[in-house]
Amino acid sequence: MTAPLVASPARRAVLADVAARIPEPDRPVLVTVDGVDGSGKTTFADELAAVVETSGRFDAVVRASVDGFHHPREHRHAHGRTGETFWSRSFDYPALLRELIGPWRRGPGTSYRTAVHDVAAETALDLPTSVVPAGGLLVLDGIFTQRDELREHWDLAVFLDVPFEASVARMARRDGSVDDPAHPDQARYVEGQRIYFATCDPRSRADVVVDNTDLGSPRIL
């Protein structure tokens, strides 16, 4: 993988701190970067993976995202587009466990895939398999990754703590969407993530909580 640009000294320091907390058991390691939509999960996970890869602590660093395990649109929207359906019907957790997390937990030599669905194109994927490396690290980003089906599988869980006002505004700049968390176009996403907070309390479940509101000056809480 190509190391992304890590801009500020404060950000480099936080990434180095989080990287140092990744354990090194005698098996492949699984790390998740969790947080609300727009909290900066993908960028943080890319940067974290690059920092670890540069350190040489692991033989291979693999990146993946829960976004590669969306259900098809007809499943996601079969019961309407509400906060509840966003929380309960967005992702195919059996496929995520079967194709990616389970193989990494079983250990070296097991075949895995990093995605089964292209949500942008709304098409199923049949990617070639890769083999879990003996000294490997998997860094997976995504929303809802500390829900009950997944929480026990992580060696380190990072939660990016960003208020909705900041995260929704960040998505608006990125995607051209509305920047009001109460707007109907955003409300289902915000409500779904509030259900996650009430059901799973991901801040408490996480091993590390990072205030990522200011991208140039994140803080470990």
Tens of pLDDT, residues 158-170:
999 999 999 988 8
Tens of pLDDT, residues 45-100:
999 999 999 999 999 999 999 999 999 999 999 999 999 999 999 999 999 999 99
pLDDT band at 149 (very low <50, low <70, confident <90, very high): very high
207 neighbors 21 (Cβ within 8 angstroms) = yes
Q: Is the pLDDT of residue 182 over 70?
A: yes
Residue-level pLDDT at 153? 98
Q: Is the pLDDT of residue 206 over 60?
A: yes
Residue-level pLDDT at 2? 46
Report the pLDDT averaged over residues 114-137.
97
pTM: 0.94
Domain ranges of the chain: 32-220
Residue-level pLDDT at 180? 80
Report the pLDDT averaged over residues 182-200.
92
Residue-level pLDDT at 127? 96
> Homologous superfamily of 32-220 in CATH?
P-loop containing nucleotide triphosphate hydrolases (3.40.50.300)
Q: How high does pLDDT run on average in the chain?
A: 94
Number of C-beta neighbours around residue 174 at 10 A: 9
Residue-level pLDDT at 1? 52
Q: How far apart are CA 147 and CA 87, in angstroms?
A: 10
Q: Which residue from 71, 127, 79 is spatially nearest to 100, judged by alpha carbons?
A: 127
Q: How far apart are CA 204 and CA 155, in angstroms?
A: 15
Report helix, strand or coil for 40: coil
Residue at 203: amino acid letter: R
Residue at 11: amino acid letter: R
Q: Is the pLDDT of residue 20 over 60?
A: yes
Q: Which residue from 42, 56, 60, 58 is spatially nearest to 4, judged by alpha carbons?
A: 42
pLDDT band at 6 (very low <50, low <70, confident <90, very high): low
Q: Is the pLDDT of residue 183 over 50?
A: yes
Q: Which residue from 149, 126, 167, 195 is spatially nearest to 44, judged by alpha carbons?
A: 167
Report helix, strand or coil for 107: coil
CA 179 to chain centroid: 22
